[in-house]
């Protein structure tokens, strides 16, 4: 079993700290955020993720999981160090690698005193070449050792989905091991040895690109479904859900992520597509397809507002309820949530916006303070003129006409095409995408 140090205990790092512990390794999760580490030491996760609380409790009971802010010291004692810090978007769409670089420097300082051949694995999503040109020099400068001699280097892209992150980390469908040399790759392969997932070994840059290619493809699939919905709408008499159902039966296509609606948000898809586009541009390649993927996506919240206007008239002074504020059901993450764009567009129209989410209300309120937050769905809907169902919490699927009874005018926009249309008698239901 491997002695692991994870740097960054956010959505990826914490879930992996837990998953690796449950798989038998000895793990320390480290972060610069002292408040987060204090919370984790008490067994309290710093964000909502289904099953995470229980999994963290179980992992702590093994006594093989700890948390610390002493990153360099913990890294010096580890056999494999994972970098799982953020790589947020810059203004021009490119990624900010300063967190990865700074984490690599700290780990490098720790590795000065390390014995053997510790391996550093980059789990953060980074543009091809970053591990070689940013992480490696930072590690070498701080440790005084050469990669491939004093320490090993890997790139291990992460594919977990928020909302099912614990399951995904425990049972990934594939593990991509990008490695500088065989010795590094073997050390990382030992970490995943017990998993039945398919394992693919590549060089560092290919591993980096696999992650972007995956997210760009999935994002494009979503935008493709939205484009189809518009075409179906233009032709008239077509239900895009039936069309994509028929398409999805084709084994070459499969139905997942082929769903029309408000588009993709979250901490990964928009950021990763923008980053790939920006990196392509910096290398002299302008991707028309990725540009279109983003353009189609950006239009969707405005379409929902237009539907609301078409059904309810001028929105000035109207009360509009948004059900679901996180970027997807099963998560409290509001990063790049379409609800932010939606709420801002509605506020610009002069609407009074009230929102409710089972987990994300307060985080959302901090970002869009002009949105009133309701304590539950019924309160959000009370006296509302329009309701927009924004994300896909399972509770929304169970909504029936009587749940909208408290509305002043029962205009309901189904932004995710998840409401049971047969259960909506008496409701003015409009479904995004026709």
Instruction: Out of 4, 7, 180, 343, point to the residue binding ligand NAD (CB under 6 A).
Output: 7
Q: Which of the residues 245 through 304 are near ligand NAD (CB under 6 A)? A: 267-268
Q: How far is the CB of 30 from ligand NAD (least distance, A)?
A: 6
* 131 close to 208: Cβ distance less than 8 angstroms: yes
Nearer to ligand NAD, 329 or 433 (CB): 329
Cβ neighbours of 289 (radius 10 Å): 11
Radius of gyration from C-alpha coordinates of the chain? 23
Q: How many residues bind ligand NAD (CB under 6 A)?
A: 26
Nearer to ligand NAD, 258 or 275 (CB): 275
Active site residue 268: yes
- Phi then psi for residue 355, to 5 deg, are -125, 155
Contact flag: residue 180 with ligand NAD (CB under 6 A):
no
DSSP string over 18-34: HHHHHTT-EEEEE-S-H
Instruction: Out of 1, 10, 206, 213, point to the residue binding ligand NAD (CB under 6 A).
Output: 10
Q: How far is the CB of 254 from ligand NAD (least distance, A)?
A: 20
Reported in sequence order, the residue ranges of 69-166 that DSSP labels E, i.e. its strands, are 80-83, 119-122, 152-155
Q: Which stretch binds ligand NAD (CB under 6 A): 145-153, 156-164, 360-368, 403-411?
A: 156-164
**Rounded to the nearest 10 degrees, how much is the dihedral formed by the CA atoms of 354, 356, 362, 368?**
-40
Nearer to ligand NAD, 11 or 25 (CB): 11
Residue in the structure block whose two tokens are 């300063």? 98
Contact flag: residue 156 with ligand NAD (CB under 6 A):
no
User: Which H or E element spans position 428?
Assistant: strand 428-431
Contact flag: residue 223 with ligand NAD (CB under 6 A):
no
**Beta-strand relationship, 198-202 and 319-323:** unpaired
Give the Cα separation of 432 and 93 in Å (integer).
28
Nearer to ligand NAD, 6 or 380 (CB): 6
Give me 414's structure tokens.
């189904």
Nearer to ligand NAD, 82 or 393 (CB): 82
| Residues at the site binding ligand NAD, with contacts judged by CB under 6 A | 7-13, 31-33, 36, 71, 84-87, 99, 102-103, 124-125, 158, 160, 162, 267-268
Q: Which residues are catalytic?
A: 268
């Amino acid at each position: 079993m491997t002695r692991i140090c994870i740097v960054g205990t956010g959505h990826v790092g914490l879930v992996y700290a837990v998953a690796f512990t449950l798989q038998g390794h000895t793990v320390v999760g480290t972060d610069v955020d002292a408040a987060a580490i204090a919370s984790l030491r008490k067994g309290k996760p710093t964000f909502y993720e289904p099953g995470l609380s229980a999994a963290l409790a179980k992992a702590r009971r093994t006594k093989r999981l700890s948390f610390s802010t002493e990153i360099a010291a913990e890294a010096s004692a580890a056999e494999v160090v994972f970098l799982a810090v953020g790589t947020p978007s810059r203004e021009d769409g490119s990624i900010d690698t300063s967190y990865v670089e700074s984490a690599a420097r700290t780990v490098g300082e720790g590795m000065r005193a390390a014995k053997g051949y510790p391996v550093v694995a980059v789990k953060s999503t980074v543009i091809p070449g970053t591990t070689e040109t940013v992480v490696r020099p930072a590690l070498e400068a701080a440790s005084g050792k050469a990669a491939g001699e004093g320490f090993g280097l890997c790139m291990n892209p992460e594919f977990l989905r928020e909302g099912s992150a614990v399951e995904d980390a425990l049972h990934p469908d594939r593990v991509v091991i990008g490695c500088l040399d065989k010795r590094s790759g073997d050390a990382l392969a030992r970490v995943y040895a017990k998993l039945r997932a398919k394992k693919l070994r590549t060089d560092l840059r290919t591993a980096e690109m696999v992650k972007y290619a995956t997210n760009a493809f999935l994002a494009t699939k979503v935008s493709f479904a939205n484009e189809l919905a518009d075409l179906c709408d233009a032709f008239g008499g077509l239900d895009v859900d039936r069309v994509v159902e028929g398409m999805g039966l084709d084994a070459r296509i499969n139905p997942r992520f082929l769903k029309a609606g408000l588009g993709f948000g979250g901490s990964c898809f928009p950021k990763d597509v923008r980053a790939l586009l920006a990196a392509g541009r910096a290398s002299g390649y302008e991707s028309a397809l990725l540009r279109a993927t983003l353009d189609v996506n950006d239009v969707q919240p405005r379409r929902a507002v237009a539907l609301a206007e078409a059904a309810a008239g001028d929105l000035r002074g109207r009360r509009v309820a948004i059900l679901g504020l996180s970027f997807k059901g099963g998560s409290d993450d509001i990063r790049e949530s379409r609800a932010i764009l939606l709420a801002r567009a509605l506020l610009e129209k002069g609407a009074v916006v009230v929102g409710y989410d089972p987990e994300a209300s307060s985080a959302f309120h901090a970002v869009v303070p002009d949105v009133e937050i309701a304590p539950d769905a019924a309160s959000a809907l009370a006296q509302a003129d329009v309701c927009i169902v924004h994300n896909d919490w399972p509770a929304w699927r169970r909504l029936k006409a009587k749940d909208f009874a408290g509305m002043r005018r029962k205009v309901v926009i189904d932004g995710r095409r998840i409401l049971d249309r047969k259960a909506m008698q008496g409701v003015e239901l409009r479904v995004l995408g026709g």
